[in-house]
């Protein structure tokens, strides 16, 4: 099935975002990234259940915000697509969502140490990164966000931010475009790596709230996003497209 050009362009960028987040070791065998339908805000695009490193155009499926496929055609689907629909429902400003289990982020989901920006590129994660815990509301579960009530609960904890951590599981990033969600996801990992290297030396000097706001506004503007996107494309093997 082919769509109008603006939709085809979004789908193409979604395939590239899958490859980029895989190449940058943010997403591995599990995890996923989606984009809201550019002309129908009640829908979004997400791959069928497949590792992002090998996602192609034909794997991309269209979903309603309740996670129901528009045309499943026998394809298997990600169990945790409730993450995407619930955030698109709660946040009209969000156009792209990514979920990953980046290893360097995981310590901050289980230890009482906040994940805050320690270098300028890390400012994009925002001044406060909350941790969502399924236990108080849902008790013992399989740890997956595999139903809408869990997705809604997660979206509430995300609030107006760009990042929410999942206790003992991973993280979710939400942003206003695919380039931004890749930027936030990649520098969430880089900031966590740097913080883990810094903590053994003592209490880090974090960016101030004012520095975080000004730096994030600058980094998530068109020029830095275009420059980073071109770099990631080259590293993922798509330079010159």
Catalytic amino acids? 80
CB 8 within 8 A of CB 2: yes
Q: Are 200 and 160 in contact (CB under 8 A)?
A: no
Residue 109 burial (CB < 10 Å; 0-12/13-18/19+)?
buried
| Contact between 40 and 70 (Cβ < 8 Å) | no
Q: What 3-state DSSP class applies to 54? A: helix
- CB atoms under 10 Å from CB of 182, counted, come to 27
Q: Is 102 left (phi over 0), alpha (psi -120 to 50) or beta?
A: beta
Residue-wise DSSP of 131-146: EE-SHHHH-S--S---
Comparing CA positions, the residue from 212, 219, 213, 226 lying closest to residue 119 is 212
């Amino acid at each position: 099935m082919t769509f109008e050009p603006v939709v085809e362009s979004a789908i193409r960028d979604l395939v590239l975002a899958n490859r980029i987040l895989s190449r940058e070791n943010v997403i591995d065998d599990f995890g996923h990234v989606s984009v809201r339908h550019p002309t129908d805000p009640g829908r979004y695009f997400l791959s069928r259940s497949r590792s992002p490193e090998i996602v192609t155009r034909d794997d991309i499926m269209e979903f309603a915000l309740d996670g129901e496929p528009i045309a499943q055609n026998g394809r298997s689907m990600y169990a945790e697509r409730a993450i995407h629909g619930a955030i698109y429902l709660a946040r009209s400003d969000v156009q792209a969502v990514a979920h990953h289990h980046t290893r360097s982020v995981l310590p901050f989901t289980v230890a009482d140490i906040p994940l805050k920006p320690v270098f300028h590129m890390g400012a994009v994660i925002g001044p406060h990164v909350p941790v969502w815990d399924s236990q108080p509301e849902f008790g013992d579960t399989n740890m997956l966000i595999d139903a809408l009530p869990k997705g809604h609960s997660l979206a509430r904890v995300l609030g107006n931010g760009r990042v929410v951590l999942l206790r003992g599981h991973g993280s979710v990033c939400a942003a206003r475009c695919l380039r931004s969600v890749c930027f936030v996801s990649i520098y969430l990992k880089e900031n966590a790596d740097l913080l883990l290297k810094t903590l053994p030396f003592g209490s880090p000097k974090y960016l101030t709230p004012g520095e975080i706001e000004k730096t994030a506004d600058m980094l998530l503007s068109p020029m830095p996003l275009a420059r980073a996107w071109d770099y990631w494309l080259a590293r993922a093997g798509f330079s010159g497209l």
